[in-house]
């Protein structure tokens, strides 16, 4: 049998990332302390610095993991079959599937976006996000050309609403004070964006 990495079946490094992403998503960046991360991992705070340069580095690694999965998924969906409206729907589905597998990373990035933009150390994540946003803009522009999407509404407004829809699907439990049912089906929310709430 091949030997495991060094000491433990799951490395301390992975344990730190697992604990940290949950705390970042639940409490936010500033309200999460290295002390608490260490405590939940079961080590002393100083031990964290054997694996990461600091709190910033942990956050950046988690965010990088997210975009490393999200960008290729969006890129693939962007070339799906059908008109631009179909490809838009495929991108929403791809986003939800990818983000659902990285739920805590998604919530962390969504809720701490101001922190990312204000921090020099975290700004690398802003560029990764920008690349994803550009893919959404592209498909919306194609929808204006092939006539499958409305042209009278600003692309940015539509993208904002799409992000909100994706987040609501990824973490429906988070807003449990609004929600009465768990996790509405993807197609329902997607159809709201495509067709609206007014009965036609």
Residue number with CB closer to DNA (6 or 200): 6
Which of DNA, a second copy, none sits in contact with 106, Cβ below 5 to 8 A by type? none
Which of DNA, a second copy, none sits in contact with 35, Cβ below 5 to 8 A by type? DNA
Q: How far apart are the C-alpha atoms of 170 and 84, rounded to whole Å? A: 24
Q: How far apart are the C-alpha atoms of 12 and 18, rounded to whole Å? A: 10
CA–CA distances in Å: residue 99 to residues 86, 103, 151: 20, 6, 28
User: Tokens for 116?
Assistant: 């990312």
Which of 1, 3, 46, 197 binds DNA (CB under 7 A)? It is 46
Which of 14, 22, 26, 56 binds DNA (CB under 7 A)? It is 56
Which of DNA, a second copy, none sits in contact with 199, Cβ below 5 to 8 A by type? a second copy
Which of DNA, a second copy, none sits in contact with 33, Cβ below 5 to 8 A by type? DNA
Distance of CA 106 to the CA centre of its chain: 3
| Interacting positions 3-22 with DNA (CB under 7 A) | 6-7, 12
Q: Report the candidate in 73, 72, 83, 92 with the shortest Cα–Cα distance to residue 159.
A: 92
User: Tokens for 156?
Assistant: 């940015």
User: Tokens for 136?
Assistant: 């959404």
User: Tokens for 130?
Assistant: 């920008």
| Interacting positions 112-141 with DNA (CB under 7 A) | none
In whole angstroms, the minimum distance from the beta carbon of 73 to a second copy comes to 19
First to last CA, the chain: 63
Q: Report the candidate in 161, 157, 158, 165 with the shortest Cα–Cα distance to residue 185.
A: 165
Q: Is 47 in the site for DNA (CB under 7 A)?
A: yes
Which of DNA, a second copy, none sits in contact with 131, Cβ below 5 to 8 A by type? none
CA–CA distances in Å: residue 86 to residues 37, 78, 94, 109, 190: 43, 9, 12, 27, 11
Residues that bind a second copy (CB under 8 A): 26-28, 30-31, 85, 88, 111, 114-115, 117-118, 126, 129-130, 133, 143, 147-150, 152-161, 163-165, 168, 172, 175, 177-181, 184, 188-189, 191-200
Applying CB under 7 A, the residues found at the interface with DNA are 6-7, 12, 32-36, 42-47, 49-51, 53-56
């Amino acid at each position: 049998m091949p030997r495991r990495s060094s000491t433990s079946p799951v490395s301390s490094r992975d344990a730190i990332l697992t604990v940290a992403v949950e705390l970042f998503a639940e409490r936010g960046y500033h309200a999460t302390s290295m002390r608490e991360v260490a405590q939940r991992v079961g080590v002393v705070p100083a031990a964290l610095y054997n694996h990461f340069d600091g709190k910033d580095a942990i956050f950046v690694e988690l965010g990088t993991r997210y975009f490393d999965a999200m960008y290729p998924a969006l890129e693939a969906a962007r070339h799906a079959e059908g008109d631009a409206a179909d490809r838009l729907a495929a991108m929403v589905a791809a986003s939800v599937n990818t983000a659902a597998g990285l739920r805590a990373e998604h919530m962390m990035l969504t809720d701490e976006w101001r922190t990312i933009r204000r921090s020099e150390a975290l700004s690398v994540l802003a560029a990764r996000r920008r690349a994803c946003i550009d893919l959404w803009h592209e498909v919306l522009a194609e929808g204006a050309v092939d006539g499958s999407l409305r042209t009278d509404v600003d692309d940015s407004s539509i993208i904002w609403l799409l992000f909100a829809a994706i987040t609501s699907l990824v973490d429906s439990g988070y807003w449990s004070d609004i929600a009465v049912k768990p996790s509405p089906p993807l197609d329902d929310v997607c159809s709201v964006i495509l067709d609206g709430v007014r009965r036609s």
